[in-house]
Amino acid sequence: MAEPEAVADDLDALIDDLDYLPGHFHLEMQLNFEPRSPAPQRARDMKLQREGLRQELELAAAPQRPAVRHLLGAFAFYLEELDEARECFLEVTREHPGNLNAWANLAHVYGRLGQEEEEEACAARLAGLMGLAEEPEAAGDPQLRAARCLAEQGYAHGFDVGCASPEERARGLAAGIALYDKALGYGQQIPMEEKRGWYFTMATLYIRLDGIFLELGSEEQKRLPAFNRTLALLRQVLKSEDLRHQALAWCYLGMLLERKDTFSTTPMGVHDCGYSGTDPLDCFGKAIEIAKNQPPILNRLAKIFYFLGKQDMATGTCNMALDVLQDPELNWQAYCTRAKLPALVPDPPPRAHTKPVCLRKQTRSSKFTSLQAEESPIPSSSLLPST
């Protein structure tokens, strides 16, 4: 029988030879490192992220749900809710028996619980799926399994907690993008609609990364390649069948077209993708038009507009969401965002030396607000404060 040291050395050598390693608990995320913040603050941050993920799970397309559930399981694990973590990963294995990350994460949880037999069974199943066992799994394409494994890991980097500086956040986002790039290398046969979901997440990571570069005052040449690639990714996402991805892609495109003015010359990606004459406000308008009957999407857009400082647009979008669904229990997000926004104050009476309000030239944003106020009036008594 082989010595334990020899077995461990063989295992380490095998791991070193792998091009990727399934699971989330080995990823270079602050979530997996020793906490640097007080335990209550770290727990609060994880619970906030988990609440956001639960909302995301309700909206996510079917191919993206395993990535969300993996993160829910990881947060439950670090919150010492091991039974919930196990159930999250078991749910993925029931719906997707070939999911590599699910078996790796489940083995990690069983190891923490001290259930060695279950841990070994999960490890054996994982080895079979990866083709490392004497009798590898025959069903399914191992390349597709690897691609989805890497994409799910890339998705996780967008939800890290505990980063102490913008530079750390930037490194995490760049690591997530790199994992998606590797996934695309493996996933030549991934269905196009699923791949567009990857493009959407990649674009989101790139936009956040560009925001950090702006915050740090990075040079244009450092920002430019990622900026151009984000435009190309969004152009593909606009072809998606998922209305949420479509609407948010138009919104993100409007954000990027506004940011193009932060460069000394217009980035070539704007011309290459055919957006030279596109107005950012038109992009925001298309996003709202796509989402007009979808309160969850409208609420997401309203929150983005709020953080962009577009108060009139955020107010109008909230009003649209409330016009479709006024029940505070079902549409609490709209009430919450609306409560943060300043109340619409009517124009003051015209002075003698000014034109009457009706003769003044309206801005596009004021036209938008006026239109929403006429089409979907919401009584002020229904604008309940958030709890």
pLDDT tens digit string along 140-164?
Answer: 788 999 999 999 999 999 999 888 8
- Stretch 322-329: mean pLDDT: 93
pLDDT of 382 strictly over 60: no
Report the candidate in 290, 288, 348, 351 with the shortest Cα–Cα distance to residue 320: 288
| pLDDT for the residue numbered 220 | 92
Q: What percent of the chain has pLDDT over 90?
A: 72
Q: Which residue has the higher pLDDT, 365 or 256?
A: 256
Which residues, 6 or more positions from 300, have their beta carbon under 8 angstroms from its beta carbon? 244, 248
Higher pLDDT, 333 or 137: 333
pLDDT of res. 200: 97
User: Is residue 152 classed as helix, strand or coil in its secondary structure?
Assistant: helix
pLDDT in tens, 108-117: 999 999 999 9
For residues 164 and 36, the answer to whether their CB atoms sit within 8 Å is yes
Residue 371 confidence (pLDDT) above 90 = no
* CA gap 65, 68 in Å, rounded: 5
Lowest mean pLDDT among 47-56, 134-143, 231-240, 371-380: 371-380
Q: What is the pLDDT of residue 138?
A: 57
Is the pLDDT at 370 greater than 70? The verdict is no
| In the chain, where the domains are located | 14-156, 311-343+357-387
Quick one: average pLDDT of 74-80? 96
Determine contact, residues 371/316, Cβ cutoff 8 Å.
Answer: yes
| pLDDT surpasses 90 at 213 | yes
Structure tokens at 315: 């107010």
**What is the per-residue pLDDT for 315?**
94
pLDDT above 70 coverage of the chain, percent: 82
79 pLDDT band, cuts 50/70/90, is: very high
The predicted pLDDT at position 36 comes to 81
Q: What pLDDT, on a 0 to 100 scale, did the predictor assign at position 37?
A: 81
pLDDT tens by residue, 7-62: 344 444 545 567 899 999 999 999 999 888 888 899 999 999 999 899 899 889 99
From the list 311, 318, 365, the residue with the least C-alpha distance to 337 is 318
Sign of the CA dihedral 142, 148, 151, 157?
negative
Q: Quote the pLDDT of residue 342.
A: 80
This prediction's pTM: 0.83
What is the pLDDT of the chain when averaged over all its residues?
Answer: 85
Is 373 a residue whose pLDDT tops 90? no
Q: What is the pLDDT of residue 34?
A: 85
d(CA 331, CA 325): 6
CB-based contact 162:30 (threshold 8 Å): yes
Say which CATH topology domain 14-156 has: 1.25.40
Cα–Cα distance for residue pair 131/145, rounded to 1 Å: 11
pLDDT, residue 35, reads: 83
Burial label, 124 (beta-carbon count in 10 A; 0-12, 13-18, 19+): middle
Using 50, 70 and 90 to split pLDDT, how confident is the model at 136? low
Task: Give the pLDDT band (50/70/90) at residue 306.
Answer: very high
Q: Which amino acid is at 121?
A: A
